[in-house]
Structure 1
Amino acid sequence: MCNRPDCGRGEIDEQGFCDVCDREPLPADRAGPAARAPQPARAPQPARGPSVGVAHVRPDPWYGLGLVDSDQAPEAADVPRRSADPVPEEHRYCANPSCMQPVGRGHDGEPGRTTGFCPHCGTGFDFSQPGGRTIAGRYDLQLVLGSGAYGAAFLAHDRNLATDVVLKALNKSVARTALHERDVLVGLRHDSIVRILGYERQGPHLVLEYVPGVPLSARDGDRLETLLAHGVRVLQALDYLHARGLLHCDVKPLNIIRFREESPAGALDRVRLIDFGAVRSQKDTGRIVACTPAYAPPEDDPDHLRPAPGFDLYGLGMTLREVCRSRWTDRSAPGVDSLHLLLDRATDVERPWRRFVSARQFAEQLSGVIRQVVAGPPAHRQVARPSALFGSMPEPLHGGLGAARPLAHWVGAEPDEDGTLTLRAAFSSPEPGDIAAALPVPLSDPDDPGMAGSAGTALAECRLALRRKDSAQAERTLSAAGLPNWHWLHAWYSGLIALARADAPRAAAEFIQVRTALPGELIPQLALGLCAELRGDHAAARSYYGAVFDTTPALGAAGFGLARVHVLAGERAKAVATAERLAQEFRYEREARVAAVRLRAMVLGGPSSHPAPTEDDLERAGASLVGLSVDRAAAAGLRAEIRYAKFLRDHDRVKLSDAIRELAPHAPTEREYVALVDLANRLRPPLRWRWSGRRGRTGHSRFGETPGTLSSDTPSGGRGHAP
């Protein structure tokens, strides 16, 4: 049983790795008391001091695969059975196992001989074509499948197993590594790794499973998410390989075979990582001596001088750049800008410390990009899932949209001669300090466990200071955390501190750094949308909010922000539609339904781009009040807002006065009660006295010389009614 505290449920396989988390068990002195011996159950203890939380293991960095349909399986590859091409010169070696010297090589610009005898031992050779040669008495060569820096690959027929295999010819430097690692290689078992069947000393050659397919490339009709899903599958293979202490060292499109796999559910589109001729142990500290330069870091790069998993991840980044080149030209398309940022990070040669350090880290961001891509047409698939790097964000930051107008707006309203009221703004952008306190808590970086120590405590104290709106203390604790300036956590907290100081441009600059580091995450885009709204850049805010809301409406702050910028742009219908979509999320249902009512009835002053609500808008707003779960005060406030919008169309002062009078009983103070009643009275129509025209028999009025009687047009009960 795996003894890692973040797993604890997997069985250890024959290679000594857990079959669940794909890692070796911890040594006994590091496994912790819970893993060394069973302990009695204890009641949970309260946490001591602040904490930012720790995510030791990314729960499911491969989730992007579940978002992509596999209904575009390629046709089975039609591979010729014979080849007339000679074996490439760089792969011509003596077949004598005790010699293995280069033969058939060219000199002075002249091509080498394809047939002849080894000058060192006299063994004959024939490289005119693979067909007709037999390796180790059982592998009949048929054609050259390809060649690279480490050797040629041949399609061969295995006489013993009566099946086709691939023989990978190795040069001497690689042969030593392959011989050393052959037992591990033969034991590899992964759906996205070609099966390595054995090792033949003659040549020497690796014997691999034959996968009838084609190198990874974009086909006609391929959607972007399909190609990205293949990237996730390769990352799964690399994660499996790296966990066993091995590096592939030659990840490129030619070494990723795309093939058709038959299954009970139908044909599937799959890939496998092939060509393990360059495989090496991570314990080998020597630099890479041969590789495919276009898919490898520069020769003076740290991952080149001392190879680590980052070497393979760089190769995959370059591979995705090539494969997706024709599918990412429009950066405004869903997820495409995030993909550019992702691959910029994966292949950054100027700042190699920014690159991904593990396949799981890369895959999590790539899955996040896939989630953004499939949110657009034609899939329109929205996926809500917890982040491995950010905590939850329950605060909707609706800016007043999700609640009735405060009574203070009506108390302070002033009517003009026509009854038109001077009201405060119907809503506003959230306050910068409130945004800083509401944005979610980052979890510790799973790829940098050191962040969970003293740095984690300092960051938690920084959060507490931000909630107290003490930006100076927050800045001091962030400095005490000792984070490098390039780390996304440092940029995130710097952005929050800038928001606490109401410096939206500075905050946006910091959040852009987080966005470039974590392009698959939605929280940085939400933060940038809020900053853009604070700066008055509604076009940028709409872009960020739309990307987040289209991907997952569960982040309610994006939905409310999108509704705000839509209505300010005069797009009332879009604003209402956004609120109604958000109302389908249980957490925000009530606030979103209130926002939908208010958006239909809302009167915005100012430019002509803010058209008044139509009669249909107001009828729908009134109908939406039925069944709305709000208290009496909120219901009265919503009715008053709808009635005021109607008043601007029908000028019925009496009904508006009555609607405002209904607000008075909900006033918290006597002063506000009196102010609301007074406003209602002032809105009553003025008295208009007229002569009745009735005269007495003598031709005189009841009151002497006056030719008529006085009557009032004002209904009883109105202010100023005649006694």
Structure 2
Amino acid sequence: MRMCNRPDCGRGEIDQQGFCEVCDRERLPQDRATAPVRVPEPVRGTGGGVAQVRPDPWYGLGLVDSDQGPDAPEEPPRSAEPIAEEHRFCPNPDCELPVGRGRDGEPGRTRGYCPECGTGFDFTQPDGRTVAGRYDLERVLGAGAFGAAYLAHDRNLAAHVVLKALHRSVAETALHERDVLVGLRHDSIVRILGYEHEGPHLVLEYVPGVALSARDGDRLETLLAHGIRILQALDYLHARGLLHCDVKPLNIMRFRELSPAGALDQVRLIDFGAVRRQRDEGPVVAYTPAYAPPESDPEHRHPTPGFDLYSLGMTLRSVCRAWTDRSAPGVDSLHLLLERATDTERPPRRFVSARQFAEQLSGVVRQVVAAAPTHRQVARPSALFGSMPHSLHGGLGAARPLAHWVEARPCEDAALSMRPPFSSPEPGDIATALPTPLSDPDAPDMAGSTRRALGESRHALSRRDPELAERALAAAGLDDWHWLHAWYCGLIALARADIRSATTAFTTVRRAVPGELIPQLALGLCAELRGDLDAAGSHYGAVFDTTPALGAAGFGLARVHLLGGDRTKAVGTAVRLAQEFRYERQARVAAVRLSVMVLDGPAQPAPTRDDLERATAGLAGLDMDRAARAGLRAEIQYAHFLHHRDRAQLSDAVRELGRHAPTEREYVALVDLANRLRPPLRWRWAARRARTGHSRFGGTPTTLSS
């Protein structure tokens, strides 16, 4: 028994194909097995990406609770169709002439006698035949492209098996299928148990289940998890240079498997009659047209793993066809994913590997399970985008700037005319805050000149030079349909404040990688800049509900809720965001401000008594410097004033701001504002007290009388 000799594994058994059963990689040559492992250092500086990263693309399976699979029927289902005429031969092994064939447009007989030897035949039932003195045929399960499948009882194993009968005219195909299956050992691939020359027949395990389909009560994530399992099987096949070429619902068995953890809902890929090696020449011969690329597609002339990935995309499209409400969590992303997987107009846009497909499918599962009833939120690194620490809170996460109070002008009723309490992030700030794409793990052969050009484009954007960034992007030589090209086009458009073009570019990115959250966040920011609050709320909500760790989505959602007149939802969003350690302080400040913030417009409700109490309690629990605390207290007192018209407390709060003014001009302006806000004085001695006051900056203070 040979074991894996890779230093970072060293524990898996090597299979007949030379691959490790644990790490799924080839055994190293002896001269490299003892070489020290070198961990690549990340690219630093202004590069267009970092070291290639391929996190676990199957992580979506861990987000789905395994439901119980379909119960195995007491008796396996009987095929409703007789054996196809091309597979009808005399059951007499000494004869085996074609029988039951149609003539002159009339179908052949399914029951009768061989005209040569007189042996009876019945192609609707096996009629108790025994193969190789061991396998008692019980019923017909179906007939595929290369032969009929029977349910048989194995006398030696005392168990049901599947006997796949292939006539001698396709014996070479039978041998090829046998040789392929013998070397495959994967939980999601049917297992071969033997081969009988009589017939010949393949002996396969019997999977007591049903063809993959959506059952009543199935959750979407359950079906998508089955898609990930089949992608694991295809990745296993493709790594061994094999193509299945006939992936479809009928060739994916869904069954119930008992385990120590209980009954599990599992799937297994079956029927390898059309399997071929990737190095084989010539077009694909056996396939199901409804699930295969069109005949004009390049995959037919030079088949690659993309042939199987297209077929799986069509399979998922069929299985998930009941989910049509694209406003439901994750459903729009699923539709975009399947559109890319089955794109016939631009074949290069389709997925090139099972892992690339699974990465995006896992991302869709992540969006689906974040909603009810699961409410499972997962923070994890992206395979395509770097981290995004910038919150882009637009002013929500900090006290009002002192300049707002300095410039404030009181009206006759003492209400203040001030700048807006917050704003949407500036387009240029968004362009520099959105993360740098990582090197595409599915395009490891990207030229060094392309990487350098992308790095130069990003560096130009950081210096707010969109013209230079555009020239560098042109030098990268990326195809227009590539998501990397579209991403940089979006950033350049933002740097120019061209929101419409940025939206178009980021939409292209989202359509290419619908399992990623960063493109949706970018679209939310663009929608907010356009004033489309509904679209912004939809994008922000999808991202924030999936993972609050992207704080920019939480702050954006809070802004949208408040602008839409829903203070309660705005505050609730900030409170949820405060549970994220990175944004705790900013989010708690935002919760205080959102509770008492006053906006112009008839649709903006004034803060309630409960809002004021919540803000006061929130301020008491904040650990912050005196200047920021004074700013929040002034904002709370202004909301109190609008309720109770207590000008004295508001005046005191504004006067307290003056203690933190950086210049005498600002100090004088704040004290002057405080004096104007005070109620009219009715006692003569008050004027005398005002004249004896002292200024922190020296000189004569302004009068306290209004």
Q: In structure 2, which of residues 537, 541, 564 is the aligned counterpart of residue 546 of structure 1?
A: 541
Equivalent residue, structure 2, for 1:692 = none
Q: In structure 1, which of residues 247, 250, 254 is the aligned counterpart of residue 246 of structure 2?
A: 250
Equivalent residue, structure 1, for 2:480 = 485
Q: In structure 2, which of residues 182, 207, 211 is the aligned counterpart of residue 215 of structure 1?
A: 211
Change (3 A) 1:688 1:440: same
Q: Summarize deviations over 1:53-87 as a string: whole Å, max 9, x none.
A: 45646221111111111133322223258889743
Is it true that 1:667 corresponds to 2:661 in the alignment?
yes
Q: Summarize deviations over 1:664-692 as a string: whole Å, max 9, x none.
A: 23222332223222222332334446xxx
Is it true that 1:61 corresponds to 2:57 in the alignment?
yes
**3-state DSSP of counterpart to 1:363:** helix
Contact 1:178 1:280 in 2 (8 A): no
Q: Pick which of 516-525 and 136-145 moved more.
A: 136-145
Change (3 A) 1:126 1:46: closer
Equivalent residue, structure 2, for 1:381 = 376
Aligned residues with identical type, % of pairs: 75
Q: Pick which of 420-429 and 562-571 moved more.
A: 420-429
Change (3 A) 1:335 1:82: closer
Q: In 1, distance between residues paired with 2:423 and 2:4?
A: 53
**3-state DSSP of counterpart to 1:663:** helix
Contact 2:43 2:51 in 1 (8 A): no
User: Per-residue deviation at 1:3?
Assistant: 7.7
Q: In 1, distance between residues paired with 2:346 and 2:152?
A: 44
User: Per-residue deviation at 1:151?
Assistant: 2.3
Is it true that 1:469 corresponds to 2:464 in the alignment?
yes
Q: In 2, distance between residues paired with 1:55 and 1:227?
A: 33
Is it true that 1:282 corresponds to 2:278 in the alignment?
yes
Equivalent residue, structure 1, for 2:430 = 435
Which amino acid in structure 2 is aligned with residue 183 of structure 1?
A: D
**3-state DSSP of counterpart to 1:597:** helix
User: Per-residue deviation at 1:158?
Assistant: 2.0
Change (3 A) 1:356 1:81: closer
Equivalent residue, structure 2, for 1:18 = 20
Q: In 1, distance between residues paired with 2:300 and 2:579?
A: 51
Is it true that 1:239 corresponds to 2:235 in the alignment?
yes
Equivalent residue, structure 1, for 2:698 = none
Q: In 2, distance between residues paired with 1:52 and 1:141?
A: 62
User: Per-residue deviation at 1:9?
Assistant: 7.8
Larger Cα Rg: Structure 1 or Structure 2? 1
Q: In 1, distance between residues paired with 2:484 and 2:41?
A: 28
Equivalent residue, structure 2, for 1:352 = 347
Q: Which runs of 5+ in 1 are unaligned?
A: 690-709
**3-state DSSP of counterpart to 2:541:** helix
Equivalent residue, structure 2, for 1:648 = 642
Is it true that 1:611 corresponds to 2:608 in the alignment?
no
Equivalent residue, structure 2, for 1:109 = 105
Contact 2:52 2:438 in 1 (8 A): no
Mapping for residues 294-309 of structure 1, pairs under 5 Å: 294-309=290-305
Which amino acid in structure 1 is aligned with residue 55 of structure 2?
A: P
Change (3 A) 1:84 1:680: closer
Change (3 A) 1:489 1:81: closer
User: Per-residue deviation at 1:102?
Assistant: 4.5
Equivalent residue, structure 1, for 2:401 = 406
Mapping for residues 205-604 of structure 1, pairs under 5 Å: 205-326=201-322, 328-451=323-446, 453-604=448-599
Contact 1:287 1:304 in 2 (8 A): yes
**3-state DSSP of counterpart to 1:206:** strand
Q: In 2, distance between residues paired with 1:83 and 1:528?
A: 51
Q: In 1, distance between residues paired with 2:346 and 2:132?
A: 48
Q: In 1, distance between residues paired with 2:327 and 2:564?
A: 20
Change (3 A) 1:518 1:571: same
Equivalent residue, structure 2, for 1:200 = 196
Q: Pick which of 77-86 and 520-529 moved more.
A: 77-86
Which amino acid in structure 1 is aligned with residue 473 of structure 2?
A: L
Contact 1:142 1:154 in 2 (8 A): yes
Q: Pick which of 580-589 and 263-272 moved more.
A: 263-272
Change (3 A) 1:600 1:222: same
Mapping for residues 24-103 of structure 1, pairs under 5 Å: 24-25=26-27, 35=32, 38-39=35-36, 50-54=46-50, 56=52, 58-80=54-76, 86-93=82-89, 102-103=98-99
Contact 2:7 2:34 in 1 (8 A): no
Equivalent residue, structure 2, for 1:699 = none
**3-state DSSP of counterpart to 1:666:** coil
User: Per-residue deviation at 1:145?
Assistant: 0.9
**3-state DSSP of counterpart to 2:374:** coil
Give the superposed CA RMSD: 2.8
Contact 1:55 1:389 in 2 (8 A): no
Q: Summarize deviations over 1:110-155 as a string: whole Å, max 9, x none.
A: 3324444487xx7957344213222233222211111222322111
Q: In 2, distance between residues paired with 1:191 and 1:293?
A: 27
Q: In 2, distance between residues paired with 1:274 and 1:21?
A: 24
Q: In 1, distance between residues paired with 2:101 and 2:42?
A: 74
Q: In 1, distance between residues paired with 2:37 and 2:235?
A: 35
Q: In 2, distance between residues paired with 1:439 and 1:71?
A: 38
Is it true that 1:681 corresponds to 2:642 in the alignment?
no
Contact 2:138 2:152 in 1 (8 A): yes
Contact 2:91 2:121 in 1 (8 A): no
Q: Pick which of 337-346 and 674-683 moved more.
A: 674-683
Equivalent residue, structure 2, for 1:696 = none
Which amino acid in structure 2 is aligned with residue 538 of structure 1?
A: L
User: Per-residue deviation at 1:47?
Assistant: 5.2
Q: Which runs of 5+ in 2 are unaligned?
A: 694-700
Change (3 A) 1:563 1:151: same
Q: Summarize deviations over 1:408-458 as a string: whole Å, max 9, x none.
A: 111111222322221111000001011011111111111111236322222
Is it true that 1:621 corresponds to 2:623 in the alignment?
no
Which amino acid in structure 2 is aligned with residue 465 of structure 1?
A: A
Change (3 A) 1:13 1:83: closer
Change (3 A) 1:46 1:521: closer
Mapping for residues 124-143 of structure 1, pairs under 5 Å: 126-128=121-123, 129-143=125-139
- Scaled by the length of structure 1, what TM-score is found? 0.90
Q: In 2, distance between residues paired with 1:714 and 1:334?
A: 68
**3-state DSSP of counterpart to 1:167:** strand
Contact 1:684 1:719 in 2 (8 A): no
Change (3 A) 1:386 1:349: same
Q: Pick which of 583-592 and 612-621 moved more.
A: 612-621
Q: Pick which of 338-347 and 657-666 moved more.
A: 657-666
Contact 2:174 2:200 in 1 (8 A): no
Q: In 1, distance between residues paired with 2:677 and 2:77?
A: 94
Q: In 2, distance between residues paired with 1:15 and 1:118?
A: 47
Q: In 2, distance between residues paired with 1:683 and 1:275?
A: 84
Contact 1:100 1:203 in 2 (8 A): no
- Scaled by the length of structure 2, what TM-score is found? 0.92
**3-state DSSP of counterpart to 2:620:** coil
Which amino acid in structure 1 is aligned with residue 462 of structure 2?
A: R
User: Per-residue deviation at 1:315?
Assistant: 1.4
Q: In 2, distance between residues paired with 1:41 and 1:295?
A: 43
User: Per-residue deviation at 1:655?
Assistant: 1.5
Q: In 2, distance between residues paired with 1:579 and 1:172?
A: 71
Q: In 2, distance between residues paired with 1:284 and 1:714?
A: 103
Change (3 A) 1:162 1:288: same
